[in-house]
Amino acid sequence: MGVNDRLPDFGSGGDAGLVGRMIDGILLGAQPLLVAFFLWRALDADPAPAALWCIIALAGTAILRRLLLWPASRRLYALAYGGGVRMRRAILAHLVGMPLGAFRAIGGGKVMQAVSEDILWLENHASHTRPEIVANAAVLAVCLVGAVVVWPVTGLSAIFGMAIGLALLSFARRRLAVGLERRARSLAEVSLVLQEQAEGVAVLRAFADGADADGVFARAVERLRDGAWRGVRKITPIAVLFRMVIDLSAALAIFLAVFTFGDASHADAARLAISALLVVCATVPARNFASLSAMLELARIGRANVRELLAVPLTPTGRDGSPEAFDVHYENVSFTHRGRTAPALEDITFKAAQGEMTVLIGANGSGKTTCMQLLMRFWEPDRGRILIGGRDIRDIDSRALSTIIAPVFQEALLFDDTIGDNIRVGRPSASDEEVEAAARAAAIHDVILGFERGYQTRVGALGARLSGGERQRMCIARAILKDAPIVILDEATSALDPENEEAIQRAIAALAAGRSLFVIAHDLASIVAADRIVLLDGGRIEASGSHEALLVSSPTYRRLWRRSAEMRRWKMAQS
Ligand SMILES: Nc1ncnc2c1ncn2[C@@H]1O[C@H](COP(=O)(O)OP(=O)(O)OP(=O)(O)O)[C@@H](O)[C@H]1O
């Protein structure tokens, strides 16, 4: 499927709404023609009936226009907003299927820019810019054709002059595009910095008094201003020149007509005046093309950005369904992160039997998270393979793979939605009773009932209304609800109070029951019961085995164990 097939459309060019706007333009252009016609009649006959008919005709076209405009606009806005929804959904679906590495390379700012600003310009294009172009072109055409018919010299010279102006505008589009593209890039940068700063507002307040006078955000905003200003400086002279050419072409057309008038009759003088009126009327829609071409360019940039996002290849998915067994086997897996020289993992080989608990330990940066990310196919190994139930994970359909693995990350990701719906992310079809059972098992039910609106309470952006420990238990409840045979748990590093810790341990025990559990452990005390401990050092397996076996065989493990025991004693003394 090509990129164009994936790019949702905003309705075809020949849509009824556009036809409506075209007829509206023709009627608008016909109004000066009607005035001209009745003026003409008034010269030869009794002016009173001509004036009356003129008013009736003008009122008639005005009413007809209103009657047409209403359904046409409704149709166009429905198309625009419908297209916007489809496009935003397509982007989200694509992001979900994209390798995490590719997503990070694009950057969150660009994604936010695409779903907000870029799609807004595309919606605006469908509801406003394109219909306005059609309507203005219709007015322009009617006025100029009328001018040619009434007095060819005026009409033809106006067409010639305005064509030069429009050619100039299309020639200047490249300059316009450069300025607007720079502005779009700066805007993406500003939204990324704003997001980072909004999330880290507490840090900002503590360290920079929240002002960020010379900080990253201020610099990004200044770059946006400079980019926009540079664009304006490039565009303004062209826009001014274009409007001047349009106005001058009308003036020149009238001048030429008068110049070639010779000794024609009074009737001819009236025709000339009417053609001059029509040419002046034509300058109004012609001038509008300056701002419309800027909007056209913004929509083009928006479309190109969305297309670029949708062109990122998805993680190739296998054809096999879910495996029947859930033992996990790493076979000589090596992997280096993009942009790094040292491998994050080197020749990793170990087996995690079904239903057992495997714990990964090691110093910061030793490769624990990367090891688990490879299991979820966030990245692809450079060498080696990972098997689940004897099947290479690359051969398993990506949806099937995601249903058999439930991750609980350290940064508990909650959406600004109700508590119930945040848990239901684990299994969208779950009933209220099932959500509540999962919350009970994760030792979070009582906390939820402590809120006035219980499960209907909104958690706030990123779960701001919950504590760190509560957020993590929410995520454990989500994983329990998912009921996947393989669970990955990235243990929290932050110091939890004993009560919270006890609740989390209960939640983890509920989560582990009957499942293959992988734990990225930071505190060794909780892992004594593990079936297998894998000790990583600089991306390599230094030792693996049970707690007792490692105490005997691995000096590094003994050292880590002693340090962890000291930390524990210190924490207990503190509390
Ligand atoms: N997205 C990334 N891009 C580049 N390098 C990365 C990326 N993620 C991790 N790394 C690097 O890969 C190595 C292993 O990192 P990883 O996060 O897997 O270690 P970890 O053992 O989980 O660390 P921690 O205990 O601090 O969470 C580190 O050197 C890290 O800097």
ipTM of predicted complex: 0.97
pLDDT at 24: 92
Pick the CATH number of 3-310 from 1.20.140.10, 3.20.20.10, 1.20.1560.10, 2.60.40.1260: 1.20.1560.10
pLDDT at 495: 47
More confident residue, 506 or 408: 408
Top CATH class of 328-574 equals alpha beta
Average pLDDT score over residue span 394-415: 82
pLDDT tens digits, 178-201: 777 777 777 777 777 766 666 555
For ligand 1, atom 1, the nearest C-alpha belongs to 337
Burial (0-12, 13-18, 19+ Cβ within 10 Å), 423 = buried
For residue 367, the CA-to-ligand 1 centroid distance in Å is 6
Question: Highest mean pLDDT range out of 35-44, 109-118, 266-275, 292-301?
Answer: 292-301
Average pLDDT score over residue span 94-100: 79
Q: How many percent of the chain have pLDDT more than 90?
A: 22
How far apart, in whole angstroms, are the C-alpha atoms of residue 566 and residue 67?
81
CA–CA distances in Å: residue 61 to residues 35, 144, 404: 12, 19, 65
Q: How confident is the model at residue 249 (pLDDT cuts 50, 70, 90)?
A: confident
For residue 137, the CA-to-ligand 1 centroid distance in Å is 58
How far apart, in whole angstroms, are the C-alpha atoms of residue 506 and residue 467?
17
Q: How confident is the model at residue 7 (pLDDT cuts 50, 70, 90)?
A: low
Q: Does 2 score more than 60 pLDDT?
A: no
pLDDT at 388: 94
Domain boundaries, the chain: 3-310, 328-574
Is 305 in contact with 114 (CB distance < 8 Å)?
Answer: yes
Write down the mean pLDDT value for the chain.
Answer: 82
The string over 306-331, giving b where at least 16 C-beta atoms fall within 10 Å of a residue's C-beta and e elsewhere, is beebbebeebebbeeebbeebbbbbb
pLDDT tens digits, 477-527: 898 888 889 999 887 655 456 666 677 777 777 777 778 889 888 777 667
For residue 346, the CA-to-ligand 1 centroid distance in Å is 13
Q: Does 4 score more than 50 pLDDT?
A: no
For residue 339, the CA-to-ligand 1 centroid distance in Å is 12
Average pLDDT score over residue span 460-477: 76
For residue 342, the CA-to-ligand 1 centroid distance in Å is 11
Any residues with Cβ below 6 Å from ligand 1, and which? 337, 339-340, 344, 362, 364-370
pLDDT at 240: 84
180 Rama sector, left if φ>0, alpha if ψ -120 to 50, beta otherwise: alpha
More confident residue, 105 or 534: 534
pLDDT tens digits, 409-439: 776 677 777 888 889 888 888 899 999 998 8
Tell me if residue 508 falls in helix, strand or coil. Answer: helix
pLDDT at 1: 38
Which of 103, 106, 334, 340, when mutated, tests ligand 1's pocket best, judged by the most ligand atoms within 8 Å of its CB?
340
pLDDT tens digits, 209-220: 555 555 666 777
Which of 360, 366, 380, 534, when mutated, tests ligand 1's pocket best, judged by the most ligand atoms within 8 Å of its CB?
366
Q: Does 141 score more than 80 pLDDT?
A: yes
How far apart, in whole angstroms, are the C-alpha atoms of residue 270 and residue 306?
54
